[in-house]
Amino acid sequence: MSNPNRENNSVSQTSVNTFGRGLDRSFVEAIVREVITSRLFSSKLNQETDDNNICSFTPKLVVSISARHIHLTNKDVKTLFGYDELKKMKDLYQDGFFAAEETLMIVGPRRRMLPTVRILGPTRSETQVELAFTDAISLGIDPPVRESGNLEGSPGCVLVGPKGVVELKRGVIRAERHVHMNKNEAAFYGVKDKDRMMLRVSSGGCTTTFENLLVRIGEGLKLEVHIDTDEGNAADLEHADKVELIRSNYCSVAA
Ligand SMILES: [Zn+2]
């Protein structure tokens, strides 16, 4: 996890922050208009939610680059490191998740390898390797774009640790771009689990809109988009001025 979380505020929060510049009447009126417009826009997006709910909060959107990483089973931790528990290096933005001190070497076909790939905790029921496409090219494999945990038919690799080696028959994927949120945030955007949204990253010279962002709703989650290093670099996320989540409005018509 070499890239830090990048935090951006919504339009209405930005307006509130500009109060410090002065409080002349036209400026205040402009802010009020902007806030009202953004509320109307929200209410169009989400007709099921009542007005009080829409106005009560504006979710803080965080967009994070998820660099290549590995999730391990307890058994594979033991085999690779010779002990039971991963050592926590730092907490991730989502509560309960962490980057471990431990790294592994990943070896692909024809002995091509990535030398120090970070492990993320906690442990899981199946070992999984998440790579960006550029990582996969340097390793010499062609993993599918998948939702985390869906490993059917994915290629394997060899993991090399200080105390042992694990040969995976499957488990290497390119993680599908996605957004984590809780049910209040889902109500704000008017989306449900497994829906698709769009992410617009505004950055000088390479503003990019990502489609097909998978919505994953869960108790206790914080609003956070995960994209991989290739995606983040393509949009120059590090220098972005603004990020926005947009509900996809495609109509599906039954044939
Ligand atoms: Zn994620």
pLDDT digits (tens, 9 = 90+) for 223-251: 999 999 999 999 999 999 999 999 986 55
**230 CA distance to ligand 1 middle (Å):** 15
**91 CA distance to ligand 1 middle (Å):** 14
**226 CA distance to ligand 1 middle (Å):** 5
In whole angstroms, what is the distance from residue 187 CA to residue 196 CA?
14
Q: What pLDDT band is residue 57 in, cutting at 50, 70 and 90? A: confident
**225 CA distance to ligand 1 middle (Å):** 7
DSSP secondary structure of 6-38 = EEE--HHHHHHHGGGG---HHHHHHHHHHHHHH
**183 CA distance to ligand 1 middle (Å):** 16
Residue 161 has pLDDT above 90, yes or no: yes
Amino acid at 70: I
| Per-residue model confidence as pLDDT tens digits over 176-195 | 999 999 999 999 999 999 99
Q: What pLDDT band is residue 14 in, cutting at 50, 70 and 90? A: very low
Which tops the pLDDT comparison, 35 or 172? 172
For the chain, give the mean pLDDT.
Answer: 83
CB 5 within 8 A of CB 60: no
**157 CA distance to ligand 1 middle (Å):** 22
Q: What pLDDT band is residue 24 in, cutting at 50, 70 and 90? A: low
Q: What pLDDT band is residue 26 in, cutting at 50, 70 and 90? A: low
> pLDDT > 90: what percent of the chain?
73
**94 CA distance to ligand 1 middle (Å):** 9
CA atoms within 13 A on the CB side of 202: 6
Q: What pLDDT band is residue 25 in, cutting at 50, 70 and 90? A: low
CB 201 within 8 A of CB 237: yes
Continuous H helices in 126-191: 133-139, 183-189
**49 CA distance to ligand 1 middle (Å):** 26
| Per-residue model confidence as pLDDT tens digits over 63-114 | 999 999 999 999 999 999 999 999 999 999 999 999 999 999 999 988 899 9
**50 CA distance to ligand 1 middle (Å):** 29
CA atoms within 13 A on the CB side of 63: 28
Residue 6 has pLDDT above 50, yes or no: no
Question: 130: alpha, beta or left, given left = phi > 0 and alpha = psi -120 to 50?
Answer: beta
Classify strands 113-121 and 98-107 as parallel, antiparallel or unpaired: antiparallel
**11 CA distance to ligand 1 middle (Å):** 25
